[in-house]
Amino acid sequence: MRISLTLGLLLLVSSAFAAEIPSVVTETANRLQQLMGAKNVSVTPTPIANLYETLIGNEAFYISADGAYFIRGDLYESKTPKNLTDAKRNQLRIKALNAMSEKEMIVFAPKTATKYTINVFTDITCRYCVKFHKEVPKLNEAGVKVRYLAYPRAGIGSITYHEMVSVWCAKDRKQALTDAKAGREIKPASCKNPVAKQLQLGQTLGVTGTPAIVLSDGELVPGYVPANRLIAYLKHK
């Protein structure tokens, strides 16, 4: 008998079911966590009997009830087919982003009511990020709020990283970001900033390049999407 997606999600959040997770499964999940170098790990039942799911970073592992075997990959519902693992990733992404304050982001909001909110991991040296940024006014006109997070692809300590710190520490961060993406010189600045934290968050959420757009339901849209297409997709969703 096929178990519906709705029931599957109920299983994931049920504390009663969570209490039944075998200790050997938790032990295997903890070993995987150590191998992956992750800070946190959680284990939840799946719609399949005797199979348990753990998401470590953006990677999904499915562990047998005896803890002896695990499968790395996504779980699908055969008749839909829906990617149940991706649905869980989406939940975790939006939970992580909603836990962040907008004060740590660089936000370009519509002058009128906000209809949609998108989160964009960006790099000032990425040409497609520059192209996307030029279309932010068009997105704002359509009621789309753009919340930028830093993702210096060259890594912590790189020239780009320090330049993005200067952007986030600028008096007018929106203007500094616009200037940086236009190739204009940014005045060096330092302060307590979230650049490293946002880079690490993006890596945890599955971001591998920029721009990377996370929609309000947690869906990750990698790469540049023209404003007209993005607006149409948001309306469709």
The enclosing domain of 51 has a CATH number of 3.10.450.70
The answer to whether residues 82 and 128 belong to one domain is no
Q: Give the pLDDT confidence score for residue 57 in this predicted structure.
A: 78
220-222: strand order across its sheet: 106-108, 144-150, 116-122, 212-214, 220-222
Distance CA 224, CA 66 (A): 44
Q: Examine the domain organization and report whether 228 and 120 are in the same domain.
A: yes
DSSP state of 30: H
The size of the chain, in residues, is 237
| Distance separating alpha carbons of residues 45 and 18, to the nearest angstrom | 7
- Single-letter residue type at 144: V
Six-digit token string for 147? 């919340």
Please indicate, yes or no, whether residues 25 and 88 belong to a single structural domain of this protein: yes
**Interatomic CA distance for residues 218 and 46, integer angstroms:** 20
Low-confidence residues of the chain, pLDDT below 50? Answer: 1-18
Pairing of strands 144-150, 116-122: parallel
Residues taking part in catalysis: 123, 126, 129, 153
Q: How many domains does the chain have?
A: 2
Q: What is the pLDDT of residue 8?
A: 35
The answer to whether residues 106 and 221 belong to one domain is yes
pLDDT at 166: 98
Q: Are residues 111 and 213 in the same domain?
A: yes
CA atoms within 13 A on the CB side of 99: 9
Whether residue 55 is found in the same domain as residue 9: yes
Closest CA to 42 of 55, 31, 51: 55
- Same domain, yes or no: 92 and 184: no
| 105 shares a domain with 25 | no
Cα torsion 94, 192, 182, 227 to 10°: value is: 10
Phi/psi-derived region of residue 29, left when phi > 0, alpha when psi is between -120 and 50, beta in every other case? alpha
pLDDT at position 163, please?
A: 97
Q: What is the C-alpha to C-alpha distance for residues 237 and 217, in angstroms, rounded to an integer?
A: 9
Residue 49 pLDDT? 92
127 & 77 share domain? no
Domain of 223 in residue numbering reads as 100-236
The predicted pLDDT at position 58 comes to 77
Q: Which of 97, 129, 160 is the last residue of a domain?
A: 97
Name the residue among 147, 123, 140, 138 with its Cα closest to residue 216.
Answer: 147
